[in-house]
Chains A and B, each alone.
Chain A
Amino acid sequence: MTDLAWINAAITAARPQAVGALLRYFRDLDTAEEAFQDACLRAMKNWPKNGPPRDAAAWLIMVGRNAALDGVRRRSKQTELPSEEVLSDLDDVEERAADRIDHADYRDDVLRLLFICCHPDLPPTQQIALALRIVSGLSVKQIARAFLVTEAAMEQRITRAKRQVGAAGVAFGTPTAVERSERVAAVLAMLYLVFNEGYSAGDNPARSELCGEAIRLARLLLRLYQAEPEVMGLLALMLIQHARSPARVDAEGQIVLLEDQDRSLWDRKAIAEGLALIDKAMRHRRPGAYQIQAAIAALHVRSASAAETDWAQIDRLYATLERLAPSPVVTLNRAVAVSKVEGPAAALELVEPLGDRLAGYFHFHGLRGALLLELGRSAAAREAFDRAISLANTAAEAAHIRQHLDRLAAEHAPPQSEPGAA
């Protein structure tokens, strides 16, 4: 590995901790980010010469803090300080840093930095953009590419989000246990947003990298909160879902459904890690929505073929999830399991009442169409598929529904009347 690659990885790894500590110190996001930038520039100069520090985060925090303080002093035109002398004397910076920085603060620093991105007034896309910018350190250009907007538009979006977060005020005191667990829950939801943003874009590599980033941050969070089963659950869920991504899109960019995927393409290492985490989480006997979703994903990857999937168990897990975190989307997912266990009529019964709440949801119409098709109700199926296509989020989703419609058109050249439930 080249020096530069190592330094980049070390800086990326240290960033949440370092920016989090600098934020606590300066209580201002822009100052913290600038201080971190300064520290990185110095690291680029210093580390190749003097070798990497033992604790990169501590080094960056100390150097960033000194650089920012020096800037403040210079701006306020106070007594001239021998700044360069102080700042270039970095040989023993770690020694001093290790003495001064309380490692117990790190946890809360990182959590705070993640938490400010979850501000409830920020729409999901802005939460994601802010987290990618300030926690992950992605460039505005990289984030803009992921969201398919111009750099200027993304810059504006992030600036606005930062202003909103700044105006809302950030709690800098040590959080209570309850506050801490609320923050962890909010951060988990935000990380899953980041993941899904990447997951929903099968054909945009800049965006699918977001999956890896969400996984990296979840691992970081779990290292800070090692006994939190929901953190294990979310990390497991994302690892298992991401493990399937090599098989999710075919050479033409078309979505391949789970049951048709080539299972030999799945990333077995990521699956092993996910399964190990589920095992760990289960020991706590504190079930949560992420753990259950991870358990469902695990049932899929544990079966050697689609035909061997334990749909009855998946149905039971979705029913538990419905009780724990009721949502029409969960019921919709459960309907897929029900269709495998009890058939399309029972599943359709579950799906129909969701029409009001899921009228604008691609997957609702897609599943409804598929169930109607299975029941031989071609005209109603075609209507549902038409609706789905108009709501498709990606070209791949639209193409998948188009296949159904083409098949229908081939089978029933002239539009037929509704034959009724079979």
Chain B
Amino acid sequence: MLYALLCYNAEDVVFSWTKAEDDAVMARLGVVHDRLAEAGKLGPSLRLLPTTAATTLRKSDPPMVIDGPFAETKEQLLGFYVIDCETLDEALEIARDLGRANPGGAYEIRPIRLFLPGALPADAAEKVSA
């Protein structure tokens, strides 16, 4: 089984860490990451930019663009994409395309700050599609 671990924390507190504290946390995480990667258990992992960098596309008709993160509590996180775009406009266009195929809910578009591709075995995807 593949699992996604979704990371939650108080953003204003994390961004009040000193650089030394932030580095220390990242270093400790690095030790765990390395161990997991060696065991072939670590897929892509990423750290997002703060919610202030986020834009949300409400998949209403017509779709509505809202500054900031997805803030509703009525909907639940059901999945996510990683896309490679030059601009926010391009990312929004992709989100609109996806939204036409799958209306309802919203996409929060958040730039990625750190992306580690990970090292899952080649057949990892079969574990969920089987």
Please report A residues at the B interface, Cβ cutoff 8 Å: 1, 5-6, 9-10, 12-14, 56, 212, 216, 219-220, 222-223, 226-227, 232, 235, 269, 272-273, 276-277, 279-280, 283
Inter-subunit contact B13/A273 (CB<8 Å): no
CB distance from B88 to the nearest CB of A (A): 4
Give 21 A-B contacts (CB < 8 Å), ordered by A residue. Answer: A5-B21, A9-B14, A9-B17, A10-B10, A12-B16, A13-B10, A13-B12, A13-B15, A56-B13, A223-B52, A223-B68, A272-B49, A273-B49, A273-B50, A273-B53, A273-B113, A279-B87, A280-B67, A280-B88, A283-B65, A283-B88
B67 and A226 within 8 A (CB): yes
Look across to chain A and name the residue whose beta carbon is closest to the beta carbon of B21.
A5
Which label, helix, strand, loop or mixed, suits the secondary structure of the B interface?
Answer: mixed
Report, nearest first, the 6 A-B pairs whose CB atoms are least far apart: A226-B68, A279-B88, A13-B12, A13-B16, A276-B111, A227-B67
A227, B52: Cα distance in complex, Å: 10
**Structural contact, B21 and A219, CB atoms closer than 8 A:** no
Residue pair B52, A219 in contact (C-beta under 8 Å): yes
> Does chain A have a CB within 8 A of B89?
yes
Footprint of A on B, CB under 8 Å?
10, 12-17, 19, 21, 24-25, 49-53, 55, 65-68, 87-89, 111, 113-114
Main secondary structure of the interface of A (DSSP, over half): helix
A276 and B21 in contact (CB under 8 A), knowing A6-B13, A12-B16? no
A1-B21, A280-B55 known; 5 other A-B pairs, CB under 8 Å? A1-B17, A56-B10, A216-B16, A227-B68, A277-B53
**Chain A min CB distance to B95 (Å):** 13
> Nearest residue in A to B85 (C-beta to C-beta)?
A279
Question: Complex Cα distance A222/B15, Å?
Answer: 14
- Minimum CB–CB distance from B50 to chain A (whole Å) comes to 6
Q: Across the interface, do B49 and A235 meet the contact criterion of CB distance under 8 Å?
A: no
Taking CB atoms, residues of chain B closer than 8 Å to A1 are 17, 21, 24-25
Whether the pair A9, B13 counts as a contact (CB closer than 8 A) is: yes
Complex CA gap A415/B68 in Å reads: 61
* A218–chain B nearest beta-carbon distance, Å: 9
A276 and B53 in contact, given A13-B15, A226-B67 (Cβ under 8 angstroms): yes
Known: A226-B52, A279-B89. A272 touches B13 (CB 8 A): no
Cα(A281)–Cα(B5), bound, Å: 31
A269: B residues at CB distance < 8 A: 49, 113-114
CB-CB < 8 A to A219: which residues of B? 15, 50, 52
A244 → chain B closest CB, angstroms:
16
Q: A223 CA to B51 CA in the complex, in Å?
A: 8
Q: Across the interface, do A216 and B15 meet the contact criterion of CB distance under 8 Å?
A: yes
Bound-state Cα–Cα, A216 to B19, Å: 13
Chain B residues with CB under 8 A of A13: 10, 12-13, 15-16
Decide yes or no: A235 and B52 within 8 Å by CB, A1-B24, A276-B111 being known contacts: yes
| Nearest A-chain residue to B53, judged by Cβ | A276
Q: What are the residues of chain B within 8 A of A220 when measuring CB–CB?
A: 12
Cα–Cα, bound, A52→B67 (Å): 30
CB A139 to nearest CB in B, in angstroms, measures 15
Residues from chain B with a CB closer than 8 A to the CB of A232 are 52
Q: Which residues of B contact A14 (CB under 8 A)?
A: 12
CB-contact partner of A222 in B52, B66, B88, under 8 A: B52
